[in-house]
Structure 1
Amino acid sequence: MFEQVNERCIKVACGQALPLRVVYCPFCGTRQAAVAETKAEPAPVQIIKPPPVTVTPIPAPVHAPGPAPLPKPVPPSIPAPQAAKPPPAAAKPAKAARSVPPPRPPIRLRTWIVAALALLGIWLYNKPSDQPASVAQQVAAATALAAQCDLDGARSALATLKSARAPAAQIKQLQSSINSSSAACDKKQRREQDGATALAAVNQAFDAGTWDVAATRLAAYVKRHGDDADTLELDAKIKVAQASRKLDAADACLAKSDRVCLESNLIAAERYKRPELAARTQALRTSLSQLLEHSLLDAAPAAASH
């Protein structure tokens, strides 16, 4: 509970006594805090010290000591509410001074040369081993494909060279190789188709034992398409069979001691020139000589008796 004080309004026209220490006068509304603030915070005054003065002390009169007066109780002072002060404005951060780096020295020419040599060495060390084939190598590979009757692969390589704008001379060379190989491959294809039927007929006649018919059919096929490994093997087999048949007939003539029959069949077998039957042919030739010798010996006594 606030105690009463003997203070008055600071406005001269009002001058009313204030029962309490207030900020505004309840009678006229004048602000009373200005005086309090002025009293609470007096302005600093510069005090100039005067020069020291020497004063002779005067002895004070001596009085009889009396009872000391009791101190008057001082009421507790209530601090006047201060007006809310605005918050201090935030200080703007000072801009950091930009540090400008010193200019770099220019790169020298020898540094560029060293870097280029280093890159060249790295490329030479790591370059791929399978470099793209040259135009001449591509033409040679396509020509080999055409020779093997892979005409689709050869034509694909020709189209690739044309799209890559290869030299006209090499493109013309490859085109000529493909054309010539195309004719040869067509002939080979027809030969294979005809050979499958013709050679089957030759083998059928051979298996039937009609070797002359087999030889005739084989000769017609060879005349049309030429010889190859299969026809040469089949021809040798037919000739061995024919020569063996003549030698069999010669053996029959030898058994009958028919010198003329033996000699004619032996000559017919020798015409086939088969090395497989050389030993048998030589044995029959020896038998023919012995038969001729016996014939001469038998003819001599008969001539002598006449």
Structure 2
Amino acid sequence: MLEPVNDRCIDAACGKELPLRVAYCPFCGTSQSAAMPEPVVAAAPAAPAVMPPPVPPQWRPMPPAAVTPAPAAEPVTAAAPVAPQPARPAPAKPAVARSVPPPRAPVRLRTWLLAVAALVGIWFVNKPADKPASVAEQVQAGTVLAQQCDLDGARSALAVLKSAKAPAAQVKRLQASITSAAVTCDKREKRAQAWEQVVLASGQAFDAGKPEQAATRLAAYVKRWGEDADTMALDGRIKVALASRELDTADACLARRDHRCMEKSLLAAERYQRPELAARTRVLRASLSQLLERALLDGETPP
């Protein structure tokens, strides 16, 4: 009976094909006769041991640095050899990708200028308050407000002085200014209201052709509140209207050839002494002279 020959290495971790019958695997160095027991035959005498052929140098395995002891292999029979298990590769470690930050762009000059402008604006908004005004300056400011009839502002300044415990003399001075200004401002307000009524009434009188009513209303106003530039301007308008009405009457008298009526109207118009009507008055005077000459020629006795 022939001795069985292994076609593959008996080491399950190796399991490579053997080209010849060898005592050691040329790939992993595992002994091939360790797991092959000799069959025991009682009747036949033991056959002489046959020496294996020498292994060529190129097939001799290199001595491993550290050989891990292989697990005990199960006995393999020559009839049914066990197929070696393929070795599992070691799991590869995933490569860790390092994130590299992009290069930073240089700061532009425009960015610096904007930052400086923003800082300057913040400083102007939040700059420290000016030095607080002295008590005398606050009293002067409150007095000016009172003279301008801003009584609420003046009273606010007085309240600030009282809360700051200003000297009593300064507080009393501002209080007197506010009291005096209150009387003056009240009078000024009433005068303004009365003037508005005079202007309204005068406009209605002019529209109705009755300037004498406007003159009466203006005279009452001047008697109570006094004369100013506005009253003088309105008085001039009233006198122009009255003188124009007298000249209109003189024109009507000229049309009737009534020299006495015309003379009377011209004298009444000239008493107002309005330069706006001087040219018209001269024309009517010339017309009156011609009318008198014709009257003399006709034998009428002039007045």
Give TM-score, length-normalised by structure 1: 0.48
Relative contact order: is structure 1 or structure 2 higher (C-alpha 8 Å, sep ≥ 6)? 2
User: Which protein is richer in helix relative to its size?
Assistant: 1
Give TM-score, length-normalised by structure 2: 0.49
State which structure, 1 or 2, has the greater radius of gyration over its C-alpha atoms: 1
